[in-house]
A and B are shown apart, each in its own frame.
Chain A
Amino acid sequence: MTHTGWEAVQPPGTGPEKAEPRRVVGSSRAANIKELGQPEVPEFQSNIHCLTIIGQIEGHMVMPAQNKTTKYEHIIPQLVAVEQNPEIEGLLVILNTVGGDVEAGLAIAEMIVTMSKPTVSLVLGGGHSIGVPIAVGAQYSFIAETATMTIHPIRLTGLVIGVPQTWEYLEKMQDRVIDFTAKHSRISAERLRELMFTTGELARDIGTVLVGKDAVQEGLIDEVGGLAQAVKKVQELTGQKSGGGLKQ
């Protein structure tokens, strides 16, 4: 898209801001004629919102450009909008993530868990590390047959002070993830800890890789499935919620 009406501004919070009238979000008829060459606006609008969580989950630090990231400061208000927007009836979270910032990941997971609208997650490819609480945060979770979830301990890098308190701090961070995951799935905290400290599964590391069916057997994920099942489940849950049948 080309923007002709843009202007450079000072960073927010550093100068006087002037309020400006803004257009309402949504596709305009004129844009549709220009871009698709058709005067008819496609009438179908989905009643579910699809949130994709891909790459690294970026939190407090901006990651260098070679990382593909999901920025939590963009996801959080999106979830607020999904919760508030009366036209959106359900949320489908699609994950293909290698994990990332613990705080940001847990924040997203907590937001999804506390939504009043039906939520379904689908793990495609990978839902590793901090992707696990996000996946189980949804009311119902699916995993693709070939998708994997890596359960491994949190580690510290950079300056580590060699005192017992460092270990306790790490243990506390670990507990936050384990407790959340155990609370929102069928797996127990003990079993999760066991999987986390397994040796021989990961090359030169400790932890476990759960492939599709294994994740379901361990009780982490509800069902092995794909796109059709996930969308159907959202429709089913939204139908239950509004008291009617399936909505198309």
Chain B
Amino acid sequence: MILYTPVPQELIWEGWDKTPEYFWARIDGRIVQLEKSGHATARIIRLYSTDPLDYLDPAFSPGREVDLGADLKP
């Protein structure tokens, strides 16, 4: 993989060795990969779908915070 960017690579890869807590969930019938971001919230990492229209739904765009309610296990 080659990165073509003027940003120094050491800035980009800073903290690469810390593995984030990812988990998969089904939200409204769609499978998404999430990262725990708070007590009951998670951030969408990626959407996993074969329906291209799902990707136009802003509710499933990467980086979006979702409130999963109080039942999120730490």
* B12–A56 touching, CB < 8 Å: yes
* A73–B66 touching, CB < 8 Å: no
User: Across the interface, which residues of B come within 8 angstroms of A157, CB to CB?
Assistant: 3, 9
Cα A101 to Cα B4 in complex, Å, equals 6
How big is chain A's contact interface, by range?
35 or more
How big is chain B's contact interface, by range?
35 or more
User: Across the interface, which residues of A come within 8 angstroms of B3, CB to CB?
Assistant: 56, 99-102, 157
Mark interface residues in B1-34 (1 if CB within 8 Å of A CB, else 0): 1111111010011111010100111111111010
Q: Is residue A45 contacting chain B, with contact meaning CB distance below 8 A?
A: no
Given A6-B26, A9-B24, A56-B7: A102 touches B56 (CB 8 Å cut-off): no
Q: Which of B18, B23, B56 has the most chain A CB atoms closer than 10 A to its own CB?
A: B56
* B2–A64 touching, CB < 8 Å: no
* B2–A80 touching, CB < 8 Å: no
Chain A residue at minimum C-beta to C-beta distance from B59: A1
Cα A6 to Cα B67 in complex, Å, equals 10
User: Across the interface, which residues of A come within 8 angstroms of B45, CB to CB?
Assistant: 62
* A78–B55 touching, CB < 8 Å: yes
User: Across the interface, which residues of A come within 8 angstroms of B14, CB to CB?
Assistant: 64, 66
Cα A61 to Cα B17 in complex, Å, equals 13
Q: Give 3 closest A-B pairs by Cβ, nearest first.
A: A99-B5, A81-B52, A22-B29
The interface of chain A, by Cβ under 8 A from chain B, is 1-12, 20-23, 25, 49, 56, 59-67, 69, 71, 73-74, 77-78, 80-82, 84-85, 98-103, 105, 128-130, 150, 152, 154, 156-157, 173, 177, 202, 205, 207
The interface of chain B, by Cβ under 8 A from chain A, is 1-7, 9, 12-16, 18, 20, 23-31, 33, 45-49, 52-57, 59, 61-62, 66-69
